[in-house]
Structure 1
Amino acid sequence: MFLSMEALTEELSPYGFKPIEGSLRRIPGGGAIFVARRRDERAVGWIGDPAPLTSLPVVGPLTVDGHPVRLYPWDWTNYQALRGILPLAPRRCDQLASFGAGDRLGMATAAQIAALRRYPVFPILAQQSPRELARTRRDFRDVLLAAAWGVLEAGYTGAFGADADHLQDEGQLRAAAEAGYSLYTFDLRRALARGPRPPEALSPIARSVIAELAGRHISYPGGVYELEEGRLVAAACLYEEALGEVIRGAEILRAMGVEADLEVSVDETDEETSPEAHGFVVRYLQRHGITLWSLAPRFPGILEKAVDYEGDSERLARAIAIHHALARSLGEHRLSLHSGSEKFRIFRTLRALTEGRFHIKTSGTTWLQAVRVVARRRPDLFAALYALARAALEESRRDYPIALRREDLPPELPVDPEAALAHRAIRQLFHISYGVLLDRYGPAIREVLIEHEAEHAAAVAGNLEHHLELLFGDAAVCR
């Protein structure tokens, strides 16, 4: 049944489509598929009869080496048809370590897979937050559709997840659930900003959690931590009302028949997450029948976008050790490191102190590789991007906890693009400015990346491999 890529290429060439090397695969029960592109137009090819895809083909039927071949548009309807017969539906995590690699352009998943499949991590390939969706003019379906395309393009047959990241309202949750996401990250930042309740307003459940945890000793490498009643009360006053959003979200998912991994994120709050807050959050949710898959604490130190960790590494190590010991004491949830892009200093520490049980999220680091290719190939466009990003700094930084200020930015770019992107402030600026840049220059950026596709893929894969190598060293495996 399998046709040669050469034969497919020859037959499709008059139509402008090029089959993607390595995407050709058999279908259980008969037939085969492949994917093809015509510039930035994507299509899925079906070899054989009958085809399970319902839309009208964009090419075909053709006959190639005696087999019928049709090309169909890569759209949501055809994706839904294929995920019933291929491993294209996101799944819950089944490994100790997991790694999220967001793709704001929807052009990098295959390159991300090239790096991730070599290491013992569960890949989260579709990962976007509502703030990213708003800035990139996408929705949860668009993100999952692009990730599934990358899975087909890479010939990847393993499991992968999809993260509806930093959710803050019911509409966002329902949209992700309807699309079929497997991980839901509840961001409590906005709810916590309302401030604490008075102690007398605490519910009986909150009081019972405080009574249970007060005085508990948590053993960790290097010492023992005792959960203090006063800090538990303070955590309960701050968190109980906010956790109502998680409880309502879990109820909605159950009502929709969605079984998924659940994460709570407090990493973008102002205050470092205390062990007491961690303990209260987890046990309070358990009392409501909710088991967390992951918690993203606010760790000590500075974990800003696009730069390495800054702070007292010994203090951070102690915090990780205590939080991990607490997680193992209260359940089997993992710690999640958000803003994981370029946090090279702390990767080995995180892996060692969590006994390899963790989740890391990255997104902006992949976007920066696209900017890097633009800088190399179109210096004029790179300069225009910088000028716009610099002018729109306040708009771009509105949703991100970042200390970057206009006076940190040079008025002109360094001539060497690598030197420019090595500059801390410039890197951070590009990291958060994707929305305004794509609004104005999205087609031009995509044109450069299409023209230099191999360079873009190598930059993305190489960057993630650097992250993963620092995490795992010689623990790479081929999958």
Structure 2
Amino acid sequence: MVLQVFNEHFGRGYTVYEKSYREKEGLSFFLAKGEEGKVLVVVGQNVPRFSFFKKHRVNGKEFFFCKPNHENLEILRGIFPDLKPIRAGLKPSFGTGDRLGITTPAHVRALRGSGLFPVFAQQSVRENERTGRIWRNVLDDATWGVFQEGYTERFGADADHVKNPEDLVAAAREGFSMFTVDPSDHVRNLSKLSEREKNEIFEEILRKERIDKIYLGKKYSVLGERLEFDERNLRDAALVYYDAIAHVDMMYQILKEETSDFDFEVSVDETETPTSPLFHIFVVEELRRRDVEFTNLALRFIGEWEKGIDYKGDLGLFEKEIKMHAEIARMFEGYKLSLHSGSDKFSVYPAFSSATDGLFHVKTAGTSYLEAIKVISMVNPALFREIYRCALDHFEEDRRSYHISADLSKVPDVEGVRDEDLPELFKDTNVRQLIHVTYGSVLKDESLKGKIFETLSQNEELFYETVASHIKRHVDLLRGD
């Protein structure tokens, strides 16, 4: 009835997102889209303290038009608690990073009814720096997307790859429910150390703490394979992870002072040294010894986990190792294995899902941005060519902090590609990585950024369905469909 009245009186200027419609305590709430962009419409009497820019009285009801800002969202969260993120715990979960801040409706469509706990608000410190966003933007944008799609089944919010206490505390104060600590600055690369250096550093560690008395000779049986700490492998495990774990412990203690109910993920994936089963055991034993309660553990699995493309490596060897890692996780209990750089790793999902038996978390981010730019290639070829040229100009600078192998000499000349063939470029791994890592430079160009958002807004349903279809491909493989 309320929507009917609204459409009769305001339908020429606004389009309603019907899934967003909710009622509570005699009030009606929904999102609509007009010339000024998206607006929150609140209908009824005695509307609680929402700030509005106009109101109309129709058939005895007052329609308040409110900006979808942080202040109004906080009021909405108070009315509808399901708009606040919560922890996933040990449920199988899936993270959907959104570099644009407008993609959550697509993510909701892909994950609704999947059985996977969705982490719709997920962004790393690096991504925030490159997009000019802050934790509040990330969480608010995702929450408005959740509200728009009428999703009420709860979701999580992940402050991803946090390296310092300031970022951790800031995210906690904004209400994030998951925190991924990245201690990679404290992880040593064994290949860059001589044997003498290894021994000297290990002696320094032993002067701090005699971990040799804890681990030497300790034995484990994993899927019939015997693993034992000897002097050499204990030294190497400590060299790689001891200082990193101390950093994680420090971050965990700081976080506990800010909040009490959260998912804590330890990420040791962004390292050159693959995490062997014995190294996995060392990390878990050390975290448990320090009373660090963690929900997820992101290991550096064997093979190459490049951004925006499928897995590169021996699938048979990966399947063997993931079974070992999954058994170790079951042996110690209380945490899930987390797969980072999870975008488009279609070939490994069946083995990963089967081995972990639902005790997993998967992170994606850049692939949603790629699908958004693919939509632009479909509907606005001229703009896509601008984006492509900008990406080429900034690629060498932007690629430095990402693990990719893209070769610009193999990237097609976009000027020689017909408009109708532009979407096919996204099948080229070099093009995918070119677009993937240059998002920051593209979005810092205010002219390009404005055109991107305008184009996606004008083609909103195509945008949502394209991204949703791509993410659902990930989800279906993880579910074994």
- Separation (CA, whole Å) in 2 of partners of 1:92 and 1:377: 38
Counterpart amino acid of 2:6? Answer: L
What corresponds to 1:332 in structure 2? Answer: 334
**CA contact 1:214–1:232 (8 Å) conserved in 2:** no
Q: CA deviation at 1:402?
A: 1.4
- Separation (CA, whole Å) in 1 of partners of 2:444 and 2:116: 34
What corresponds to 2:461 in structure 1? Answer: 454
Structure 1 stretch displaced more, 350-359 or 242-251: 242-251
Aligned partner of 1:349 among 339, 348, 351: 351
- Separation (CA, whole Å) in 1 of partners of 2:75 and 2:216: 49
SS at match of 1:164: strand
What corresponds to 2:23 in structure 1? Answer: 26
- Separation (CA, whole Å) in 1 of partners of 2:302 and 2:258: 38
Q: How does 1:36-75 map to 2 (within 5 A)?
A: 36-39=32-35, 41-55=37-51, 57-60=52-55, 62-75=56-69
SS at match of 2:93: strand
Unaligned runs of 5+ in 2: 191-197
Q: CA deviation at 1:121?
A: 0.3
CA offset digits 1:326-346 (Å, max 9, x no partner): 112223211111111111101
What corresponds to 2:433 in structure 1? Answer: 428
What corresponds to 2:193 in structure 1? Answer: none
Calculate percent identity across the aligned residue pairs. 35
The size of the alignment, in residue pairs, is 466
Q: CA deviation at 1:194?
A: 8.1
- Separation (CA, whole Å) in 2 of partners of 1:292 and 1:213: 25
SS at match of 2:48: coil
SS at match of 1:374: helix
What corresponds to 1:11 in structure 2? Answer: 9
**CA contact 2:163–2:183 (8 Å) conserved in 1:** yes
SS at match of 2:264: strand
Counterpart amino acid of 2:40? Answer: V
**CA contact 1:218–1:326 (8 Å) conserved in 2:** no
- Separation (CA, whole Å) in 1 of partners of 2:427 and 2:442: 20
Aligned partner of 1:78 among 63, 66, 72: 72
What corresponds to 1:274 in structure 2? Answer: 276
Q: CA deviation at 1:290?
A: 1.1
SS at match of 1:345: coil
- Separation (CA, whole Å) in 1 of partners of 2:210 and 2:36: 57
**CA contact 2:305–2:311 (8 Å) conserved in 1:** yes
Are 1:129 and 2:131 matched, yes or no?
Answer: no
SS at match of 2:79: coil
- Separation (CA, whole Å) in 2 of partners of 1:104 and 1:210: 47
What corresponds to 2:372 in structure 1? Answer: 370
What corresponds to 1:115 in structure 2? Answer: 110
- Separation (CA, whole Å) in 2 of partners of 1:213 and 1:97: 35
Aligned partner of 1:202 among 195, 200, 205: 205
Taking a change above 3 Å as real, the CA distance of residues 191 and 266 of structure 1, as seen in their structure-2 partners, is same
Aligned partner of 2:403 among 397, 401, 404: 401
Are 1:468 and 2:475 matched, yes or no?
Answer: yes
Q: How does 1:384-399 map to 2 (within 5 A)?
A: 384-399=386-401
Q: CA deviation at 1:167?
A: 0.5
Taking a change above 3 Å as real, the CA distance of residues 371 and 111 of structure 1, as seen in their structure-2 partners, is same
What corresponds to 2:295 in structure 1? Answer: 293
- Separation (CA, whole Å) in 1 of partners of 2:414 and 2:217: 56
- Separation (CA, whole Å) in 2 of partners of 1:237 and 1:449: 48
**CA contact 1:295–1:336 (8 Å) conserved in 2:** yes
Q: CA deviation at 1:12?
A: 3.4
Counterpart amino acid of 1:428? Answer: Q
Are 1:438 and 2:443 matched, yes or no?
Answer: yes
Taking a change above 3 Å as real, the CA distance of residues 112 and 407 of structure 1, as seen in their structure-2 partners, is same
- Separation (CA, whole Å) in 1 of partners of 2:215 and 2:57: 71
Query: What is the aligned-residue RMSD (CA, Å)?
Result: 2.1
Q: CA deviation at 1:216?
A: 2.4
Q: How does 1:145-160 map to 2 (within 5 A)?
A: 145-160=140-155
Q: CA deviation at 1:50?
A: 2.5
Structure 1 stretch displaced more, 449-458 or 391-400: 391-400
Q: CA deviation at 1:120?
A: 1.0
Counterpart amino acid of 2:449? Answer: G
SS at match of 1:386: helix
CA offset digits 1:41-60 (Å, max 9, x no partner): 332222223223343x1221
What corresponds to 2:173 in structure 1? Answer: 178
TM-score normalised to structure 2 length:
0.92
**CA contact 2:188–2:240 (8 Å) conserved in 1:** no
SS at match of 1:24: strand
**CA contact 1:209–1:283 (8 Å) conserved in 2:** no
What corresponds to 1:226 in structure 2? Answer: 227
- Separation (CA, whole Å) in 1 of partners of 2:208 and 2:86: 33
Taking a change above 3 Å as real, the CA distance of residues 467 and 35 of structure 1, as seen in their structure-2 partners, is same
Unaligned runs of 5+ in 1: 475-479
Q: CA deviation at 1:240?
A: 1.9
Counterpart amino acid of 2:170? Answer: A
CA offset digits 1:228-287 (Å, max 9, x no partner): 333233212332222222122211221113421111112121111122322222221222
Structure 1 stretch displaced more, 351-360 or 465-474: 465-474
- Separation (CA, whole Å) in 1 of partners of 2:364 and 2:36: 25
CA offset digits 1:398-447 (Å, max 9, x no partner): 22111223323233363312321111100111111111111221101111
Counterpart amino acid of 1:285? Answer: L
Counterpart amino acid of 1:390? Answer: L
Q: CA deviation at 1:453?
A: 0.7
Counterpart amino acid of 1:382? Answer: F
Counterpart amino acid of 2:204? Answer: A
- Separation (CA, whole Å) in 1 of partners of 2:452 and 2:150: 26
- Separation (CA, whole Å) in 2 of partners of 1:341 and 1:266: 18
SS at match of 1:20: strand
Q: CA deviation at 1:209?
A: 7.9
- Separation (CA, whole Å) in 2 of partners of 1:259 and 1:213: 36
Structure 1 stretch displaced more, 276-285 or 188-197: 188-197
SS at match of 1:84: helix
Taking a change above 3 Å as real, the CA distance of residues 327 and 213 of structure 1, as seen in their structure-2 partners, is farther
SS at match of 2:338: strand
- Separation (CA, whole Å) in 1 of partners of 2:226 and 2:9: 68
Structure 1 stretch displaced more, 158-167 or 194-203: 194-203
Taking a change above 3 Å as real, the CA distance of residues 45 and 328 of structure 1, as seen in their structure-2 partners, is same
